């Protein structure tokens, strides 16, 4: 009788723990502008949201919601962008010289009064006593009426010599590239006449979210074209071009420059997804992955996290199907 009671209590405890875990973990998560990195056995996902939304996972399938990066908006961001409400866009996460670097955007929709900031942390594990995001303030700023580019959607990349560059941009004059200081916290050099690395070559210029990924001898520039954030009316698509230098010129498979409206199609929406875009690329266990969001047709255009394997054919990336 005692053995049966012990077994019953043990099974009850296990079921309770499993039930609690299943409630904490979610497979189908809302995410916009996702970026991912691995630390130890865990994956960390950073997305647009209040204070920067964070998720963690051990398998890239089941995700646990984590506290936001910022519980209080950085004061510099409040001062720099009138109307900024703490909703931070398009984070980019990377690791360098013993620290994690998180670049992020502050702006208001449809305006190029914007800025990119950066914060660092020694770890991403909240149980580690050294866990603490330290904000280093503004990296670069765009001002309406003064700059014909938009300082949002940052992505860091290093050239073949290890020099860091920041790509960024949305609409206006297209995607830009700027050299960073060795510590990656400030822009180095002049902001006058910043080079354009991609453009649709028209008045609307619906291109944004650059992500540069080094593969073999090429730098691959991924970007999103069309319109995001419109639910059923979203027309997001992912394109790519490549270059032998991080500064470009980036050409598509037909030899057309991305500054002249070129771009090889990587992925577009279908009957299940109104649009897909704002991607990152990551390599885990010697496999490349495309990380992005899609507007779900089954949930009235809600943005959802999507991860697909990325294969390479004749020197070009090919995503697995939606």
| Strand spans (E) along 199-301 | 207-215, 218-225, 237-243, 264-268, 273-284, 287-296
pLDDT given for residue 180 in this prediction? 98
Distance CA 240, CA 213 (A): 10
Distance CA 115, CA 140 (A): 6
pLDDT given for residue 21 in this prediction? 43
pLDDT, tens digit (0-9, with 9 covering 90-100), for 262-300: 999 999 999 999 999 999 999 999 999 999 999 999 999
> Could you confirm whether 208 is annotated as catalytic?
yes
* The total number of residues written for the chain in this structure: 322
Which ranges of the chain does DSSP label H, i.e. alpha helix? 2-24, 75-80
Distance CA 293, CA 125 (A): 24
Q: Where are the domains of the chain?
A: 31-194, 207-259+271-322
Residue ranges, the chain, pLDDT below 50? 1-22
> Could you confirm whether 33 is annotated as catalytic?
yes
pLDDT given for residue 231 in this prediction? 86
Q: Give me the CATH code for the 31-194 domain, please.
A: 2.115.10.20
pLDDT given for residue 23 in this prediction? 52
pTM of the prediction? 0.92
Q: Is 40 exposed, middle or buried (0-12, 13-18, 19+ CB in 10 A)?
A: exposed
**For the chain, first and last CA: distance in Å?**
54
Q: CB count, 10 Å around CB of 262?
A: 21
pLDDT given for residue 19 in this prediction? 38
The per-residue DSSP string of 137-166 comes to EEEEEE-TTT-SS---S-EEEE-TT--EEE
State the residue for tokens 């984590």: 66
Q: Is 108 exposed, middle or buried (0-12, 13-18, 19+ CB in 10 A)?
A: middle
The active-site residue, picked from 28, 33, 252, 299, is: 33
Angle at 203 between CA 202 and CA 207, to 5 degrees: 65
The active-site residue, picked from 28, 66, 79, 208, is: 208
């Amino acid at each position: 009788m005692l053995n049966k009671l012990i077994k019953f209590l043990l099974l009850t405890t296990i079921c309770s723990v499993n039930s609690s875990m299943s409630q904490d973990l979610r497979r189908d998560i809302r995410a916009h502008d996702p970026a991912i990195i691995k630390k130890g056995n865990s994956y960390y996902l950073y997305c647009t949201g209040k204070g920067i939304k964070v998720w963690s996972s051990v398998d890239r399938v089941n995700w646990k919601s984590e506290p936001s990066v910022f519980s209080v908006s950085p004061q510099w961001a409040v001062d720099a962008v009138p109307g900024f409400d703490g909703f931070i866009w398009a984070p980019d996460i990377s690791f360098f010289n013993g620290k994690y670097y998180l670049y992020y955007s502050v702006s208001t929709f449809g305006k190029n009064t914007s800025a990119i900031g950066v914060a660092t942390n020694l770890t991403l594990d909240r149980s580690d006593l050294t866990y603490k995001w330290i904000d280093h303030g503004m990296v670069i700023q765009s001002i309406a009426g003064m700059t014909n580019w938009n300082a949002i959607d940052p992505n860091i990349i290093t050239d073949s010599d290890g020099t860091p560059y920041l790509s960024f941009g949305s609409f206006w004059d297209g995607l830009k590239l700027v050299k960073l200081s060795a510590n990656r916290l400030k822009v180095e050099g002049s902001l006058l006449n910043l080079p354009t690395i991609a453009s649709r070559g028209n008045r609307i210029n619906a291109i944004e979210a650059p992500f540069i990924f080094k593969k073999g001898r090429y730098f691959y520039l991924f970007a999103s074209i069309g319109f995001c954030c419109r639910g059923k009316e979203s027309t997001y698509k992912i394109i790519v071009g490549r270059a032998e230098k991080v500064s470009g010129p980036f050409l598509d498979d037909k030899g057309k420059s991305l500054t002249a409206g070129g771009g090889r199609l990587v992925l577009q929406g279908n009957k299940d997804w109104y649009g897909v875009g704002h991607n990152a690329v990551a390599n885990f266990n010697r496999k490349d992955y495309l990380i992005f969001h899609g507007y779900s047709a089954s949930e009235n255009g809600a943005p959802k996290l999507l991860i697909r394997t990325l294969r390479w054919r004749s020197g070009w990336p090919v995503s697995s199907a939606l």
